[in-house]
Amino acid sequence: MTSRERTDFWSEHVTSYQARMGYSYPRTDDFHAGTIRQCTDTYQLVKFWSDTIKYTRTAGQVRHHPDEDYRLVLPLAGELVMRQDDQEIRLMPETGFLLTFATPFEALHDASTRTLIMSIPAQEVNGRLNRSSPIATGLDLTTGLGRVVGDMLTGLHKERDTLTGGQFDAVSDKLVELLCMLAAGDDRPTAPGHLTEVETVVRRYIREHAADPDMTGATLAQALGWSLRQVQLALQHGGTTPRELIREERLQLVRDRLRAPAYRHMTITELAYASGFSSSSALSTAFRQRFGVCPREMRHGGPSPSAIRSGVD
């Protein structure tokens, strides 16, 4: 095969795997390149390498050869320069890029670069991120959730000969879920890698704000600067949910106030409202389910404090 035939073949080869693009070869006299491909009807993962080349997807190609899907791009060696939406990002190993073919771009690939590129259906990304636009930012895959995503992507490639199609799709599904959390910035709480630390902060916040009747999982997540999903994951790690923990802390608050002389002047209804409950009946129902007595019985005797403490524990 002549050098010209090799470059023509490469252009057709990459187009068949990806989408219509332009190819600029600084050198055509001795071009070398190669790919390793894994694919199912849903996902595709390609490792590719080549001599220096520039890929260009123009506005005309976007219009006449539409492709709405995303590509997760991760250099394994060398450097890959991506230009899209008037931004330029230099990708090194352990830095990913979520690229859309629905917007023009340029990619500069030198001879030292080895790259993984995963094709992801647009609906798998847009639905989770509530958007349909490129994410023009580098993704740090060195720590926390980013490292998990990077390890999963490279692991998929390394285990290509042992995974079934179903297993490949199952891992890809989970990878995309985590990728979208990362792209949305939802990995911030887990960046230290300790869900227990996140859980501790969330529990402390709920305990300190239990009396707020408007507190929900969403509002506390917003107050802490995290996503609701991350709060849910942290509490799931501890065996509970935001809703359950808020209710538990409010019940504990009422129990403590029923015992405290400083709150003797307050009626049960007043205590209910002051402790975040919507009504005295809502408090009474939840309180009896939790402690086995109603608030009034607790105030006027009820089970011994030691029995109540053991019940809490």
Does residue 230 have a pLDDT over 90? Answer: no
Spatial separation of the C-alpha atoms in residues 137 and 150, rounded to whole Å: 16
Per the prediction, the chain carries an average pLDDT of 85
Does residue 284 have a pLDDT over 80? Answer: yes
Residue 67's nearest CA partner among 105, 114, 39 is 105
Find tokens 């002549």 and name the residue: 2
pLDDT band at 144 (very low <50, low <70, confident <90, very high): confident
CATH superfamily placement of domain 195-312: Homeodomain-like (1.10.10.60)
Does residue 250 have a pLDDT over 90? Answer: yes
Average pLDDT score over residue span 161-169: 95
Spatial separation of the C-alpha atoms in residues 90 and 107, rounded to whole Å: 10
Average pLDDT score over residue span 29-55: 94
Average pLDDT score over residue span 103-118: 93
pLDDT score at 94: 86
pLDDT score at 84: 83
Whether 3-185 shares its CATH topology with 195-312 is answered no
3-state secondary structure of 160: coil
The radius of gyration computed from the CA coordinates of the chain, to the nearest angstrom, equals 28
Spatial separation of the C-alpha atoms in residues 191 and 194, rounded to whole Å: 8
pLDDT score at 15: 95
Strands 44-50 and 33-39: antiparallel
Supply the pTM of this predicted model.
0.59
Spatial separation of the C-alpha atoms in residues 172 and 152, rounded to whole Å: 8
Spatial separation of the C-alpha atoms in residues 309 and 29, rounded to whole Å: 82
Q: In the 8-state DSSP scheme, what is residue 142? A: S
3-state secondary structure of 96: strand
Residues 6+ apart with CB under 8 A from 156: 38, 45, 118, 163, 168, 171, 172, 175
Arch. (CATH architecture) of 3-185: Sandwich (2.60)
Q: Where are the domains of the chain?
A: 3-185, 195-312
Average pLDDT score over residue span 192-207: 76
Distances (CA, A) of 163 to 154, 160, 254, 263, 308: 13, 6, 54, 64, 53
Q: What is the token pair recorded at 125? A: 């990304």
pLDDT score at 212: 94
Q: Burial level of 152, CB count in 10 A (0-12/13-18/19+)?
A: middle
Does residue 152 have a pLDDT over 50? Answer: yes
Q: Cβ distance 58 to 105 under 8 Å?
A: no
